Chains A and B, each alone.
Chain A
Amino acid sequence: MITLDNIHKSFGNNHVLRGVNLHVDRGESMVIIGGSGTGKSITIKSVLGLVKHDSGSITVDGQDIDTGDRDAFLARFGMLFQGGALFDSLSVWQNVAFRLLRGSLKRPKDEARDIAIEKLRRVGLTADVADRFPSELSGGMQKRVGLARAIATNPEIIFFDEPTTGLDPIMSGVINDLIREIVVEMGATAVTITHDMTSVRAIADKVAMLHNGVIQWSGPVSELDATDDPFVRQFITGSADGPIEAIR
């Protein structure tokens, strides 16, 4: 479904992606792992066109992302951002229903609000949160609202950028379970980037490890612990000794 073919991206002299090749099948939950600053976010932002890659090609269902109707393309995606990226000036329900209040997916206001409240319920938030503003919510609640916004229009493909960063272990577990449940029940294709191994085991069907600008290893999550790839071994054991430099 999503194919990245030899993607390169540099910022000045910093060559972040040096030939990333990755394929995600329809309905699959792919988790990209890797250390901080290895280009995980750049990779998924390249797919969405938020970052222009320097060379290589990215296709979704065989169609290059740079061709075709951009709005229709983006309507297929939902994304949960690392910090939630909720709009401060809008209430919670208006954040969740953002796409339903404008553009090609526009619905009547009451209907959009009902859908937003339903999605908030789906992520474990009650209706009384709907009229609050993001600044009035805890970090965990903001993540849930971000998740509700990502699934508001039942997208085919959902990206999760560091979904558990900054959360306590219990809330991380709740978010991980929610992501897994939602992806399964929606039948969506999911790409998650994280360096939290608990998230990897809870969310992933397949895992790809990004290091030095390339996919160092990829395979089913069931093979992750058995692999003898030294990069993966070092990463999942959290060891300072190994091919990955501890000081970057």
Chain B
Amino acid sequence: MKLTAPLAALGRAVLALVAAIGRVSIFTANTLSHIVRGPFYVRELLGSIIQIGYFSLPVVGLTAFFTGGALALQIFAGGARFNAEAVVPQIVAIGMVRELGPVLVGLMIAARVTSSVAAEIATMKVTEQIDALVTLSTNPTKYLTVPRVVAATLVMPILVGVGDIIGVFGGYLVSTQRLGFNASAYLQNTVDFLEFTDISSSLLKGAVFGFIAALMGCYYGMNSARGAQGVGQATKAAVVAAAVLILAANFVLTEVFFSA
């Protein structure tokens, strides 16, 4: 009996994982089906765009700026080992736009937006506000989930674009003020080196990460257990799931775009 206990535990874990994937898949399909069917709550969508997009700009800007600056310092120091200090503009550009921009913005959004969405919806569930919505003939998925998911999917490419630009600017500022690069040559190298695919893949990644971040917040909020502990657990689980899924999606998208 004891010999099979680890196998039984493993089986339970696998079953739980499969069940969780199934629940998330059904939730995702349900959300997508409501996106294309009315009624549409435009006011809630605009509110979500302001909350998720506009109010995330400071944290996105600061994160990208410091990362771009640190990246320039690292590449300069690392490049000096084989006389390749001159590649700082190109590596900062490609590093920020292809990888660090979308991933860091995605993770910051997971921290800021996923947590707040999960906590808000979980609290609504605990205080019977979700039930109240239903009794008021309003579908909670349409009213709560769809506006947040659509807003995050729409504004994330913009946030990533802003993050990319500020990140490159951070690298530019450190390179020209601290490392002695020529300003116009730095900008010219950056512009010349970037390709359309770099930018488009970055923005597409942003849209996917935004979808994941908002969806996880809504899913865990809607499925929260009762009480303050339930809200806390839902928030924590939502942020963890969003962060892991964003990193996994980043790998898959990078493989798709740049594996050739």
Query: CB within 8 Å of B: which residues of A?
Result: 45, 48-50, 71, 74-75, 77-79, 81-83, 85-88, 98-99, 102-105, 149
Contacts and interface: CB of A to CB of B under 8 A. Distances in A.
Contacts of B131: 45, 50, 81, 85
B147 to A, nearest CB: 12
Interface of B: 39, 41, 124, 127-129, 131-132, 134-138
Q: Which of B131, B135, B138 has the most CB of A within 10 A?
A: B135
Given A102-B39, A102-B41, A81 B137 contact: no
A102 B138 CA distance: 9
Give the top 4 A-B pairs by smallest Cβ distance, nearest first: A85-B132, A85-B128, A74-B137, A79-B135
Given A102-B39, A102-B41, A103-B39, A83 B127 contact: yes
A99 B127 contact: no
B137 A48 contact: no
A74 B135 contact: yes
8 contacts: A50-B134, A74-B136, A83-B128, A85-B128, A85-B132, A87-B129, A87-B132, A98-B138
A74 B132 CA distance: 11
A85 B137 contact: no
A77 B135 contact: yes
Contacts of A77: 135
Nearest to A82: B128
A141 to B, nearest CB: 16
Contacts of A99: 136-137
A87 B132 CA distance: 9
A81 B128 CA distance: 7
A37 B127 CA distance: 17
Nearest to B135: A79
Chain A contact surface mostly = mixed
Contacts of B127: 83, 85
Given A85-B131, A85-B132, 12 more contacts: A45-B131, A48-B134, A50-B131, A75-B137, A79-B132, A81-B128, A82-B128, A85-B127, A87-B124, A87-B132, A98-B138, A149-B136
A139 to B, nearest CB: 13
Contacts of B128: 81-83, 85
B156 to A, nearest CB: 22
B34 to A, nearest CB: 15
Given A81-B128, A85-B128, A87-B129, A98 B135 contact: no
Contact of A103 (B124, B135, B137): B137
Given A83-B127, A83-B128, A103-B39, A50 B135 contact: yes
A87 B130 CA distance: 9
B135 A48 contact: yes
Contacts of A75: 137
B135 A104 contact: no
B17 to A, nearest CB: 21
Q: Which of A75, A77, A85 has the most CB of B within 10 A?
A: A85
A48 B134 CA distance: 9
Nearest to B123: A88
A105 B138 CA distance: 12
A99 B135 CA distance: 10
Given A102-B39, A102-B41, A103-B39, A85 B129 contact: yes
Contacts of B134: 48-50, 74
Nearest to A105: B137
A105 B131 CA distance: 19
Given A102-B41, A103-B39, A71 B137 contact: yes
A135 B136 CA distance: 21
Contacts of B41: 102
Contacts of A78: 135
A158 to B, nearest CB: 11
A135 to B, nearest CB: 12
B132 A103 contact: no
Contacts of A81: 128, 131-132
B191 to A, nearest CB: 44
Contacts of B138: 98, 102-103
A79 B132 CA distance: 8
Contacts of A83: 127-128
A104 B137 contact: yes
Contacts of B136: 74, 98-99, 149
A162 to B, nearest CB: 11
Nearest to A150: B135
A82 B41 CA distance: 27
Nearest to A161: B128
A99 B128 CA distance: 17
Nearest to A49: B134
